[in-house]
Amino acid sequence: MKNNELILILDFGGQYNQLIARRVRECNVYSEVVPFDISLEKIKEKNPKGIIFTGGPASVYGEDSPKCADGIFELGIPILGICYGMQLMTHVLGGTVQKAQTREYGSTQVEIENTSSLFQGFENKNNFLMSHTDFVSKVPDGFKTIGKTLHCPNAAMENTKKRLYGIQFHPEVNLSENGTKVIHNFLYNICKCSGDWQISSFVEDSIKTLKEKIGNKKALCALSGGVDSSVAAVLLSKAIGKNLTCIFVDHGLLRKNEGDEVEQNYKNQFDINLIRVNAKNRFLSKLSGVTDPEKKRKIIGEEFIRVFEEEAKKIGTVDFLVQGTIYPDVIESGLGKSSVIKSHHNVGGLPDYVDFKEIVEPLRNLFKDEVRKTGLELEIPENLVYRQPFPGPGLAIRIIGDITEDKLNILRDADSIFREEIFKAGLHKSINQYFAVLTNLKSVGVMGDERTYDYTIALRAVETTDFMTGVWSKIPYEVLEKVSSRIVNEVKFVNRVVYDITSKPPATIEWE
């Protein structure tokens, strides 16, 4: 890769660590998150332009509190310590960290010295997010205080000679006004970065590197229609053309017209060598009578591998298997727990079953928003690049109870109406995931003069950034009314529509 500049982010276990890395990249500088105890040798090898210490839940006086490598402050590399990172810097360099009586939490006014390079362009008061109990009561020798709040006498400090900086607040969160500007100032004024991390050059360089690496050999990719695998496949296809074969296993559990759309997109627009396997019957017969959600997932995961394996065998040995792994899946957390990788992310361990020599993961260093930018750069249609997440087991986990073809058709029609109306109302950009669920519940209704006894459709719509937590979306009543009346009128065997008004937690996004 052409980018030469690197910012290392030492992870002390704070909840916003990945956000710091993303903010740095938004400033066009490449960043990597590494465990806090990375050795001096490794740091020297990586030759970063600067280092950021993240926050974390520990106290510097705690017995097992995480420490950085000895000598890190003598490397001559600029360091910015955030929250715990600032306290650690203080503690190691001879200042004093103290426990406060009360925790300072929330958006807090900080009086800053805007003559400092870190705060260039700031007014002398700015609101930042504070979230701490311990604080720096005395800065180490050679440091100067450049920020304070009502309760925190040293909310920011600097040692310009050694290029060491500390801030008690969190510049990386949206709640901090001009937070990214603090990071920008650190990168450009202090680390003297030039900003060589651009998605356009990432795409150009990746295509070149992949061409050199794969040459005339053969690569195989499992295409789901999701954003990551799509971007990986298109990138590969730009590099090696028809030497890439994509296998798209259509398990028959996709949304209305989705299978055809995926096929058309890849064949027509990108001229990709695509094999679509229509395996609906296999999946439905395996799923027949199964009601337990985890069993459904397991059956689908296993069958998926089997179908893929059979198709891959027909192709014979391939040299490379392409995977759409992205950066959040590979970051190793600073506190030794590797980040949770959902089992479905790698399509349940494909590598064991396919005859290949090496894995290529062209998106391994990218965050999701960068994957999307890469997709746009590759001219993948916007509706695909910003596609809402769709679970691997598909509609199988949106039909409560056993799955039949009839139920799938009912759900597909209802879901398609819901999505169409959300789009028409312009809500698709603010709601992160929205879909219909076929509850296994039948209830009494009346249509014309007839009594009906039909299914209840539940609508689900959530707003979230990480899909770990989320709130139910306050869709305007008129939109809900339109969706409800269209569904009961247009979809046979449905006589009732309900809206799910539970957030996550305690509910999950999917019903199963």
Smallest separation, CB 295 to ligand XMP (Å): 12
Q: Is 510 in the site for ligand XMP (CB under 6 A)?
A: yes
Tokens 């360099």 found at: 93
Binding to ligand XMP by residue 389, rule CB under 6 A? yes
Stretch that binds ligand XMP, among 83-91, 130-138, 257-265, 385-393 (CB under 6 A): 385-393
**Contacts with 182 (C-beta within 8 Å, 6 or more apart), sequence order:** 118, 119, 167, 171, 176
Q: Is 172 a catalytic residue?
A: yes
In the bound state with ligand XMP, the residue whose beta carbon lies nearer, of 383 and 502, is: 502
Q: Is 392 in the site for ligand XMP (CB under 6 A)?
A: yes
Cβ-contact 304, 249 below 8 angstroms: yes
Residue 504 engages ligand XMP in binding (rule: CB under 6 A): yes
Q: Of 237 and 433, which CB lies nearer to ligand XMP in the complex structure? A: 433
Considering only 90-98, 146-154, 302-310, 389-397, which stretch makes contact with ligand XMP by CB under 6 A? 389-397
> Which residues does residue 32 pair with via DSSP β-bridges, in sequence order?
8
Residue 387 CB, shortest distance to ligand XMP, in Å, is: 12
**How far is Cα 235 from Cα 267, in angstroms, rounded to an integer?**
15
Amino acid 481 reads E
Determine the Cα–Cα distance for residues 394 and 474; give it in Å rounded to an integer: 25
Residue 278 near ligand XMP by CB under 6 A = no
184 is catalytic: no
Range in contact with ligand XMP (rule: CB under 6 A) among 214-222, 254-262, 328-336, 501-509: 501-509
Alpha helices for 316-401 (secondary structure H)? 327-330, 368-377, 382-385
Query: Is 394 among the residues that bind ligand XMP (CB under 6 A)?
Result: no
For residue 113, give Cα distances in angstroms to 81, 154, 166: 17, 12, 13
Residue found under tokens 């994957």: 371
Candidate ranges 20-28, 70-78, 142-150, 386-394; the one touching ligand XMP (CB under 6 A)? 386-394
- Find the binding residues for ligand XMP in span 294-323 (CB under 6 A): 297
Tell me how far, at minimum, the Cβ of 265 lies from ligand XMP, in Å.
20
Residue 83 among the catalytic residues: yes
Task: Mark 435-474 with x for binding to ligand XMP (rule: CB under 6 A) and - for no binding.
Answer: --------------------------------x-------
Q: Nearest-5° angle of CA 11, CA 15, CA 20?
A: 60
Task: Pick the piece of the chain touching ligand XMP (CB under 6 A) from 248-256, 269-277, 370-378, 503-511.
Answer: 503-511
Kindly identify the residues of this chain, within the stretch 279-298, that bind ligand XMP according to CB under 6 A: 297
Contact between 500 and ligand XMP (CB under 6 A)? no
**Residue 286 near residue 299, CB atoms below 8 Å:** yes
Alpha-carbon distance of 171 to 179, in angstroms, equals 4
Q: Among 32-40, 86-94, 272-280, 502-510, which window interacts with ligand XMP (CB under 6 A)? A: 502-510
Q: Interface with ligand XMP includes 482 (CB under 6 A)?
A: no
DSSP assignment of 126-161: EEEEEEEEEEEEEPPTT-EEEEE-SS-S-SEEEETT
Q: Is beta strand 6-11 parallel, antiparallel or unpaired with respect to 30-35?
A: parallel
What H or E segment, with its residue span, contains residue 275? strand 273-278
Which is closer to ligand XMP, CB of 328 or CB of 391? 391
d(CA 173, CA 29): 18
Whole-angstrom CA distances from 350 to 35, 202, 284, 353 are 28, 27, 21, 6
Nearer to ligand XMP, 432 or 495 (CB): 432
- 328 is a contact residue toward ligand XMP (CB under 6 A): no
Query: Using the rule CB under 6 A, which residue among 146, 220, 393, 459 binds ligand XMP?
Result: 393
Q: Which two tokens stand for residue 143?
A: 């440091």
Q: Which two tokens stand for residue 465?
A: 């950034």
Catalytic residue of the set 5, 27, 68, 83: 83
DSSP of 162-183: TTEEEESSBTTSTTSTTHHHHH
Within 164-193, which residues bind ligand XMP (CB under 6 A)? none
Cα separation, 80 vs 50, in Å, equals 8
Tokens in use for 445?
Answer: 């209704």
Binding site for ligand XMP (CB under 6 A): 297, 344, 389, 391-393, 433, 467, 504, 508-510
Q: Which residues are catalytic?
A: 83, 170, 172
